[in-house]
Amino acid sequence: MLVRTFIGRSLAFVALVSLAACKKNPPEANHSNGNGPAPQAASDSGVTVAAADTGVAQAPAGPRAEVPGEHCALTAALTSPAAVPGPTTVEVQLDAKDGFHINELDEVQLQLEGSNATVRAELARTDATESTQDKIKFVVPVQVAAAGAGVRGRLRFSVCASVCVRQRLAFNVALAQ
C-alpha cells in the first residue's frame, strides 16, 4: 500500500513538473475543439500528460521522410546526393503545430543508426543547430560506406499547450542506391 501511494504521488509530481516546464501560455480549448485525440491519462493533480509513439520506422522510400506526429511534424532529408563512399549530411527537423510548442525544458533525444553508413548514435538538444519553441533542427554528418546506405532514427521530445504530449517519431532515409 505504501509503495502504491508513493508511485501515485511520484507520477503526479512528474506530470506537474512536465506541465510547469512549458513556458508558453496554453490555448483555451485544446482537445475540446476536435483538433486531436483526447488525452490518454490524467493524474490526481489535474495535470494531463499524453504519450504517442509512431512505432518502428518504415523501410526507406527515398532521400526524404515526412512523419506526422500529434501536434507536430518531423522531416528527415538527405541534404545533398551522397557519393559512394563519401560524406553527406542528413537534416532532421521537428515543427510544432496546432497551437502547440516544443517543450524547451524537457529532454530531446535523437537516436540514429546507419546501414552501410557511419553516423553518431545519439544527439541531444544541445547538439541541435536550431532550437526554439516552434522548431528544432539537427544537421547530422554521415559517412556513406557502400551502396544501399541508409539512416534510421527516432526522435523523443514533448510538445505542450494545455497538456504536454511526449512523443517518439521514427524515420528512415535512403542515402545511396
Residue-wise pLDDT tens digits, 114-123: 999 999 999 9
- Of 158, 152, 151, 116, which Cα lies nearest the Cα of 136? 158
The whole-number pLDDT of residue 81 equals 87
Can you identify the CATH homologous superfamily of domain 2-174? Immunoglobulins (2.60.40.10)
Cell of 42: 490524467
The whole-number pLDDT of residue 34 equals 35
pLDDT higher than threshold 60 for residue 18: no
Map out the domains of the chain as residue ranges: 2-174
Residue-wise pLDDT tens digits, 61-86: 789 999 999 999 999 999 988 889 99
More confident residue, 149 or 50: 149
DSSP secondary structure letters along 29-82: -SSTTSSSPPPS-B-TTS-BEEEEE--SPPPP-SSEEEEEETTEEEEEEESSPP
Whether the link from the prior residue into 85 is cis, omega within 30° of 0, is yes
3-class SS of residue 176: coil
pLDDT higher than threshold 50 for residue 13: no
| Phi, psi (deg, nearest 5) at residue 3 | -65, -45
